[in-house]
Amino acid sequence: MMEEKRVRIITGHYGSGKTSIAIKMAFSLHAAGRSVTIADLDIVNPYFRTSDEKSLIEDAGIRVVCSAYNGSTLDIPALPKQMYGAIADRQSVLVIDVGGDDRGAVALGRFAPDIISEGSYEMIYVVNFYRPLTRTAAEAFDVMREIEKASGIRCTCIMNNSNLGIETADQTITATEEAALQLCALSGLPLMKNVLDEREFKEERYGRSYI
């Protein structure tokens, strides 16, 4: 069993489902009685971001750290100043949603020294083998290495979150098991089980399907 870490970094290419995983993880940790902060460092992706659900998450009692421009008509890449406090707060679990490629991961690099020095983090690389640029283990491995280089932090495990949205079936997932194992072999990293049932993404309390 993997040792529990205080800082949980969720990364992966666009469409991998990393934001869904980050939000669900934050809710699960909070439900277990932990003090939780979720940070949105996906500051260059104009699509679905953790900060889009800021009110919903905060209403549940989870602290959200995001760009100061969240909620405005501006989409300016800006690092949230509260990140330094969130990293320093050892009493709260910190879940970080990182940008979907090497450019997005640059934001994490600014905080990498503090995260690494604490020695209590895991960086989960979420992969969806049905998305462009990560259709094979080799392609997914290249994206992972780009993210690591840009962020200055090495991934610690792989999560296979391959899905086709609402069209996802059992075969959809099992068909990518071999690719996931190949990625683990290439990276030397363990496969972290994705225990998030597709049906859970459709629970009314989350307001939408996070796929």
Q: Is residue 160 part of a domain?
A: yes
- Residue 56: what pLDDT? 85
Regions of the chain where pLDDT drops below 50: 1, 46-48, 69-77, 197-211
What is the maximum span of the chain, computed from C-alpha positions, in angstroms? 44
Give the tens place of pLDDT for each residue, 62-100: 999 886 544 444 444 456 678 899 999 999 999 999 977
CB-side exposure of 78: number of CA atoms within 13 Å? 14
- What CATH number has the domain bearing residue 116? 3.40.50.300
- Structurally, the chain folds into a number of domains equal to 1
Residue 116 lies in a domain: yes
Amino acid 210: pLDDT:
32
**What is the structure's pLDDT at 166?**
82
Predicted local confidence at residue 168, as pLDDT? 83
Closest CA to 8 of 114, 127, 98: 98
211 assigned to some structural domain:
no
Phi, psi of 125 (to 5 degrees): -95, 110
Give a yes or no: residue 208 inside a domain. Answer: no
Whether 166 is covered by a domain: the verdict is yes
Q: What is the mean pLDDT of the chain?
A: 82
Q: Is residue 118 part of a domain?
A: yes
- Domain assignment present for residue 210? The answer is no
Structural domain for 126, as ranges = 7-201
pLDDT of amino acid 66: 81
